[in-house]
Amino acid sequence: MVSKKALKNSILQDPRATDFVANPYLRYSQWHSLDAPVFWENYGFWCLLNFDAVSGTLRDRRFARLPPAGHELAPPPPHLQEFAKAERYSLLAMEPPAHTQLRKLVNKAFVSRQIDAMEPFIKQIAHSSIDHFEGTGAVELLEHYATPLPLRVITRVLGIPEEAGPQLLAWSHAMVKVYTMTQSFEDEITANTAAAEFYAFLEDMIASKRRNPDDGLLSHMITARDETQSISDDEIICVSILLLNAGHEATVHQLGNMTATLLTHYAGERRALLLDALKDEVTADAIVAESLRFAAPLHLFTRYAQEDLTLGGDVHIAKGDQIGLLLAAANRCPKKFSEANTFMPERPDSAHLSLGAGLHYCIGALLSKMELRIATQVLFQRLPELMLADEPQFQDTYHFHGLQSLHVKWSLL
């Protein structure tokens, strides 16, 4: 099944190795030089990293997030039953036609008109977080700035009381641990319990919104469900958990990655360039886009082949096989980008795949880009001399490529 050329491109890289998670881009550069798909032995599947190949595959209906009929996955083990239940109808676990219907409904809350209306609220959250630590001269930015902002935004979008935030965060952290490949059996039990509690919380929330509807996405989904019977309560719950977990975690990490990148690239005399660029929405958006290309938080997504096919000319993929799409490596593809490893917001060839593409393109794309822009504009407007207090360390997970902590400081004079 595996051709000679393909075998030549087998790679062995523990995705949990400390030096790799700290800087996977060194390895990506080596793999790019092979100019072909690579067989990642630790995962046991072929991976694409060329920009056009990854982009094309995300849009190619011969690949899907689920395996084709006849190649179904093994049922989850008993200790992950509740976790699986909370994921069963998440958009990421669905394909058309069920996916199309649910996505259309959820998307109503994420169109540009709705997102633009959130701008004043996002600004207010950013300012109020900074009010809390501005007088201290130093802060750990992930906990005190990057985490509360997207959490408060997504609870507002869904219509969930803000006071539930800390509990939602605890459930979310417990659940996403299962995607990191670093979890223990105990972590899986904890994730399963978190999923069960999260599910029950949303069941109660749905019952309460049925009695007292409001303008949030949960109420809108319930109305659509009750009027048309087109979706189920299970779908509403699973998609809400996805929005609260994946959307939130990725935005926190990206805000951390982006801030660390900016503090490194615009230190000293270069800071004035950044402050200037952030004043203008167009150049500020370009900084966000380049930071998504340069420092993506989610590096690996997978797809299942829906038929037998060939990749890169001579790699045979059988129906039901899983392949890996290395989004962050594609973002540094030397065939697509000049000086691919240089952070350059003014680059003429700007593009990235950090938010995916095709049917499952990130539904929160507009929202997260606006959150990143406003959070960065407000941060540097309020603390223009912000600097790193120590070297940022990446956490030891490959799938969520984000910082363990981001300690920053500024002068109080």
Given the rule CB under 6 A, which residues bind ligand HEM? 58, 65, 91-92, 103, 154, 242-243, 246-247, 250-251, 254, 297-298, 301, 354-356, 360, 362-364, 367-368
Residue 97: asked if its preceding bond is cis (omega within 30°), the reply is yes
CB of 335 to ligand HEM, least distance (A): 21
Amino acid at 394: F
Nearer to ligand HEM, 181 or 189 (CB): 181
**Terminal CA-CA length for the chain:** 67
- Is 400 in contact with 275 (CB distance < 8 Å)? no
Contacts of 257 (CB under 8 A, 6+ apart): 291, 295, 296, 297, 401, 402, 403
Distance, in Å, from the CA atom of 309 to the CA atom of 318, rounded to the nearest integer, reads 6
CB 284 within 8 A of CB 377: yes
**Could you write out the DSSP letters of every residue in 142-202?**
IIIIITHHHHHHHHHHHT--GGGHHHHHHHHHHHHGGGTT---HHHHHHHHHHHHHHHHHH
Minimum CB distance to ligand HEM, residue 184 (Å): 26
Give rounded-to-5 percent helix, strand, coil for the chain: 55, 10, 30
Q: How far is the CB of 254 from ligand HEM (least distance, A)?
A: 4
Tokens of 367: 């929202």
Nearer to ligand HEM, 301 or 410 (CB): 301
- Distance of alpha carbon 63 from alpha carbon 320, whole angstroms: 9
- Kindly tell me which of 6 and 102 has the beta carbon lying closer to ligand HEM: 102
Measured from the CB atom, is 201 or 301 closer to ligand HEM? 301
Nearer to ligand HEM, 119 or 131 (CB): 119
Nearer to ligand HEM, 36 or 288 (CB): 288
Nearest to 224 by CA among 208, 241, 238, 206: 206
What is the length of the chain? 413
Of 5 and 123, which has the nearer Cβ to ligand HEM?
123
Question: Least Å distance between CB 89 and ligand HEM?
Answer: 11
The residue at minimum Cβ distance from ligand HEM is 364
- Which residue number, 271 or 369, has a Cβ lying nearer to ligand HEM? 369
**Full strand arrangement of the beta sheet holding 10-11:** 10-11, 38-40, 45-48, 322-326, 300-305, 63-64
Q: Which of 92, 10, 8, 15 is nearest to 45 (CA)?
A: 10
Closest approach of ligand HEM to the CB of residue 336, in Å: 17
> Which residue, 102 or 389, is less far from ligand HEM as judged by CB?
102
CB of 250 to ligand HEM, least distance (A): 3
Least spacing, CB of residue 241 vs ligand HEM, in Å: 10
- Nearest-approach distance from CB 74 to ligand HEM, in angstroms: 21
In the complex, least distance from residue 212 CB atom to ligand HEM, rounded to whole angstroms: 23
